[in-house]
Amino acid sequence: MLESFDCAPFTHAGVTRPVFRAGHGPGIVVMHEIPGIYSAVAEFAERLVEEGFRVALPELFGQTGRPFSGGYAAGELLRACVRREFAVLAADRSSPVTDWLRALCRDLHGECGGLGVGAIGMCLTGNFGLSLMLEPAVIAPVLAQPSLPFPLGRRRRRGLHVSDEELGVIRQRVCEEGQKVLGLRFTQDRLVPADRFARLREELGSGFESIEIDSSPGNKDGLSASAHSVVTKDLVDEAGHPTRVALDRVITFFRERLEA
C-alpha cells in the first residue's frame, strides 16, 4: 500500500504531520476518512496518481495501513470528537485543522504550479473542501459524503461547517471567479442529510454540482441503506455502476478545473 509514495513531515504553525506524496501533474490534496489511511483510501489516491495527478495525502488520524474494522472506526471517531482540531458539532465554523490543510494546499501548488490544486474530503473531512476555498490556490473542491457537523437537529442538518464570513468568500469565488464545488452522497446516508445538499444548492446555485446515489430500500443497484463511502469502501468498481460513475465524474471534474 502506497509503495509509490514518498512520506515526509509537513509543518505549519508549529503542527507537524506526515504527508504521503506521489505522481506528476496538477496537485490534489486527499483528506482521508475515518478511521485513517486504510486500503480503499490508498487505492483511491493511487488511482489519481495513475490518472496523471500529483497527490498529497496527509495522515490526520488513525494508523496508516491498519485494516478497516468497525471497532477501529468507532475508536477513531470517538478520539476525533474530543480533539481540538475537529469541531464535529459546529454548524457555523470550520475545524481548526483546515488552517493547516490550507497551508498544505499552498505548498502543493508551489510544488506543482499550474492553475491551482484540487482537494477532496471524505466523511469527517468531507466539508473541509469548502473552508479550503479560502486559499486562492484551491480551485477544485470535492465534498465526498460531508458529515460535519453531525446532523443533530435541523440547524446542524443544514450546517455547512463554515462561518458566515467564510461562506461569503466561497460564494464570492463561485459568483465572481466561476469556481465550482462537487458533492457526493448516498440518499439514505443518515450522516449526510438531503437538507445539507439543499443548503449548498441554495447558497451556491449552479456553482454546486451534486451526485446523489439511490440507496433506498429495493434500489436497482442493490446498495445497502448503510452505504456511506462513495469512492472508497462502498465503491463498486464496475463500468456503469453509480459509484463508478461518481468516481469517473470526480476525476473528470479535476481534469476540467485543473488542466490548462
**Tens digit of each residue's pLDDT (9 = 90 or more) over 101-153:** 999 999 999 999 999 999 999 999 999 999 999 999 999 999 999 999 999 99
Of the given ranges (1-5, 36-40, 238-242), which has the lowest mean pLDDT?
1-5
- pLDDT at residue 25 in the model: 97
Average pLDDT score over residue span 65-86:
95
Q: Is the peptide bond before 35 cis (omega within 30 degrees of 0)?
A: yes
Question: Average pLDDT over the chain, rounded to whole?
Answer: 97
Element (H, E) at 8: strand 6-12
Give dist(CA 107, CA 185) in Å, integer.
Answer: 29
Average pLDDT score over residue span 248-258:
98
**Tens digit of each residue's pLDDT (9 = 90 or more) over 175-198:** 999 999 999 999 999 999 999 999
DSSP assignment of 172-234: HHHHHH---EEEEEETT-TTS-HHHHHHHHHHHGGGEEEEEE--STT-TT---TT---TTTTT
Q: Under a CB-based contact definition with an 8 Å cutoff, are residues 197 and 143 in contact?
A: no
- pTM for the complete prediction? 0.97
Give dist(CA 244, CA 210) in Å, integer.
Answer: 15
Q: Is the peptide bond before 149 cis (omega within 30 degrees of 0)?
A: yes
Name the residue among 78, 91, 35 with its Cα closest to residue 60.
35
235 φ/ψ sector (left φ>0, alpha ψ -120 to 50, else beta): beta
Give dist(CA 260, CA 251) in Å, integer.
Answer: 15
Residue spans of the domains in the chain: they are 6-258
Domain 6-258: top CATH class: alpha beta
- pLDDT at residue 1 in the model: 83
Q: Which three cell numbers stand for residue 238?
A: 464496475
